Amino acid sequence: MKAVVLSGFGGPEVLQLKEVALPDLGRLDVLVAVQAGGICHHDVLHRAGKLPGAKTHVVLGHETAGEIVAVGADVRSRRVGDRVVVYQRRFCGTCRNCLCGRQDMCRADGLPGVDTEGGYAEYVAVPASATVVVPDSLDWAAAALSSCPIATSVRALRGVAGMAPGDTVLVTGASGGLGVHQLQLIRAFGGRSIAVTTSAGKADTLLALGANDVVVSPDLDYSSEVWRLTGKRGVDIAIENVGSTLPETLRCMAHGGHVVLLGNLGTAAVDVLPGLMIGRRINVSGSGSATFEDLHQSLALLDSGAVRPVVARTFPFSCASKGHALLDRKGVAGRVVLQGW
């Protein structure tokens, strides 16, 4: 089968199209013919060698949707022809976290494309328990993005920050694959959103997606404008998709506000002011993958039309390097999706 293999760490050119063996099908596995896959910034960091434990000579991609074409001998929950999205990480199903519904915190296995084979391939073999059937109303691109970035953002907003109707939510990196879906989720959940972008050319797009206010800040010095927009109260919740802007985001927070760290684009350390966090009683939490419950909520939101997938560009899987190059240049508003060969 065809697959895009990470030949080494570096620029987009290290993603190489190769013929590889069809994956083995275990007794509890299903074989999925991949129809669409999103390019997450996690893939970009992995490709560049910026992730702890990242490996070469693997297939990247954890935003994968497709059709089941074969099932293992002991699989009873899925059948050939099912349209599924692959859950974005592997899990054991038996540890304390899994039994509590926190599959995102299972440490038994790992992430596709990091510890196992990913979805930039014609076929992927995964445990049947790691698939969720998608509604017939959703196209393949929507299905691919339902787990990450959309369900991931449901986890950050509702599961971690406990967002309620009426909350004001700051979104940094708002034009990225996470941000464009978070703006829609905030609107669907009854909140007010303030989007931060470095590009004035993306402001209209963010407003159309549901942002109540857009702060254009090429130098990422946005806290004074956020303070003004909130009547010097600050925001209740901030979704930090960038990472390096955390110190500036902390200055935007209301007393008792909650910052959720979801992105870390630069991977470098940042300086924070403990006194500010103490004085305003700011909560800071890390968030990552969605749970299965979050994924089911994501699919329901997509099926109802409350959230729509924002696909900036589509490339064949064989041109995955072009998609990575676009992300390197920050040249898109939304997700880059791979479809076809």
Q: Is 300 within a domain?
A: no
The reply to whether 54 and 95 lie within a common domain is yes
Supply 256's token pair: 């008792």
The reply to whether 37 and 89 lie within a common domain is yes
pLDDT at 265: 79
Q: Is 113 within a domain?
A: yes
Distances, alpha carbon 62 to alpha carbons 90, 98, 121, 230, in Å: 10, 19, 11, 37
Range of the domain at 15: 2-133+310-338
**Cβ pair 41, 327 in contact under 8 A:** yes
Q: Which residues of the chain have pLDDT under 70?
A: 109-117
The reply to whether 125 and 202 lie within a common domain is no
Nearest to 83 by CA among 132, 16, 121: 132
Tens-digit pLDDT profile for residues 8-42? 999 999 999 999 999 999 999 999 999 999 999 98
Q: Is 231 within a domain?
A: yes
pLDDT at 113: 53
Q: Is 120 within a domain?
A: yes
pLDDT at 335: 94
Q: Which residues pair with 284 in a beta bridge?
A: 259
> What DSSP character marks residue 234?
-
Tens-digit pLDDT profile for residues 4-14? 999 999 999 99
Nearest to 65 by CA among 30, 99, 21: 30
The reply to whether 162 and 259 lie within a common domain is yes
pLDDT at 328: 92
Tens-digit pLDDT profile for residues 153-194? 999 999 999 999 999 999 999 999 999 999 999 999 999 999
Q: What is the number of structural domains in the chain?
A: 2
Distance CA 207, CA 212 (A): 7
pLDDT at 111: 60
The CATH number covering residue 171 comes to 3.90.180.10
pLDDT at 115: 56
Q: Which residues pair with 83 in a beta bridge?
A: 67
Distances, alpha carbon 161 to alpha carbons 63, 238, 268, 276, in Å: 24, 9, 24, 19
The reply to whether 188 and 248 lie within a common domain is yes
pLDDT at 256: 97
